[in-house]
Amino acid sequence: MMQPRKTALITGSAKGLGKMTALRLADQGCDIVVNYMHSEREAYELCEGIRSKGVRSIAVQGNIAVQADRERLVHEAACAFGSIDILINNAGPFIRERRLFNEYTVDEINYLMQGNLLGVMHLDHLVLPLMRERRWGRIIHFGFGHAAEARGWPHRAVYAAAKVGLVSFTKTLAVEEASAGITVNMICPGDIRGANKEKTIADVEGQIDEESPRGRPGTGEDIARVIAFLCEERSDFITGNLMDVSGGLDPIRAVIGGSRTMHKDPGTGA
């Protein structure tokens, strides 16, 4: 008996890691809901590319840090395709500038928490009834390397706190929803920078990354292929896991003395 086609909603998927994940899941036969905030042209171009693979795709604008946008995103996705079987929580705000916690404004703290923790929980809450109805679902959260260790991350206090909170939520939700056929896992990307987010592994073969223990740069394909595996029909025995896809890199670098001299931060992919 042929399995019904699955629908995947991928936040922040017009570009970068989200785009690579969308293309990978489309190759596996999923219909794709592309979410974007500002990258309208890229989102619609991606939808065209996805449709050329023989599956359906729509683009929906929305800021994941805003409750009304999250509700509209899920509503439009469900109206278009009937359900949401796969939710990839790729989007999440990240402030590049290194700052002490004392230097954040209240609005910035709330925005980072909404985009990286509370908004993710809300999206899951909106989608769970649709998955429970079909007794099948795949939810993917995004973290950072070694997030499960709840280590301090100087100058990234709010972002790190949100993602570490998401670790506990990932493990809890995985246990609660396992009997409903829903798996919940977290992907922790390594240092994947700039254009490499949309490259394949073959694209970077032979390139050297001296900061990476693996020795080569990370790519969008590294992340997308793990997500695609977790979303397969027979990956139902893998839940509540955190998977570092980092080439062995530790993203939390030591602060030198009292200064803010650190190596470059990893591309979060979120």
Q: What is the CATH number of the domain that holds 55?
A: 3.40.50.720
Q: Count the neighbouring beta carbons within 10 Å of the beta carbon of residue 10.
A: 26
259 within some domain: no
User: Please, what sign has the CA dihedral across residues 69, 72, 77, 78?
Assistant: positive
198 within some domain: yes
Structure tokens at 107: 């609005």
pLDDT mean over 107-113:
97
Of 229, 243, 268, 239, nearest to 96 (Cα)? 268
What is the extent of the structural domain holding 125? 7-245
265 within some domain: no
pLDDT mean over 74-102:
95
Band (pLDDT 50/70/90 cuts) for residue 17 is very high
Cβ pair 62, 70 in contact under 8 A:
yes
pLDDT mean over 238-258:
78
250 within some domain: no
pLDDT, residue 213, reads 78
262 within some domain: no
DSSP annotation string for 182-201:
EEEEEEEE----GGGGG--H
pLDDT, residue 253, reads 62
Cβ pair 62, 37 in contact under 8 A:
yes
The structural domain count of the chain equals 1
77 within some domain: yes
Structure tokens at 92: 């999440």
Q: Of 9-13, 16-20, 93-97, 186-190, which gets the smallest average pLDDT?
A: 93-97
Q: pLDDT at residue 269 above 70? A: no
176 within some domain: yes
DSSP strands (E only) in the chain: 7-10, 31-36, 57-61, 86-88, 137-142, 182-189, 242-245
Percent of the chain scoring above 90 in pLDDT:
76
DSSP annotation string for 3-57:
PPPPEEEETT-SSHHHHHHHHHHHHTT-EEEEEESS-HHHHHHHHHHHHTTTS-E
172 within some domain: yes
